[in-house]
Amino acid sequence: MKRTTWRLERVYRRSQAGSDYRAWKTQLCNQRSLYQTKYSTYWSSAIAECRGDGKQLWSKLKLLMNPPSTSQSSGFTADDLATFFVRKVADIRAATASSPPANIQLRDTTPFGTLDRACHCQRSIQAALFNASKELPARPNPHPASEAISRHICPSHGISL
């Protein structure tokens, strides 16, 4: 029953056809109806089995009136999680505070091909480095890494970012 419902939903999500939507909704209504029937049948038989035993009957009715909580909480709040990560970052920074800065050197690599279109090259670099965001302010002094990458990718064009 569930698999059929899931399959029909996937078919509808892919096709967005009205007929697929109606088939999915019809199946979903049939599934809900089946679950409701099973629910009422279970509780009717459970209560019928308690005839003559008031204590057992009240224990079943208690479950009907106050169902047990199904959610399992870990006891952690969003603030606990945030505090954990703030401490974690602080610990990592403290542990690496005396470390020298990373020395990343460019290596000689095989060229990607001829980059004879400076305009294309410049747009590619800007998109890669600055995510082509219009909100970024103009940078009068570009970062040294962007200049190095520019020279490395397009050495013959002298493009300045």
8 A C-beta contact, residue 47 and residue 60: yes
What residue ranges do the domains of the chain occupy? 2-65, 118-153
Q: What are phi and psi of 110, to 5 degrees?
A: -70, 130
Q: What is the mean pLDDT of the chain?
A: 76
What is the pTM (predicted TM-score) of this model? 0.38
Residues 15-48: pLDDT tens digits? 988 898 999 889 889 999 999 999 889 888 888 8
Name the DSSP class of 32.
Answer: H
Residues 66-88: pLDDT tens digits? 777 766 777 788 899 999 999 99
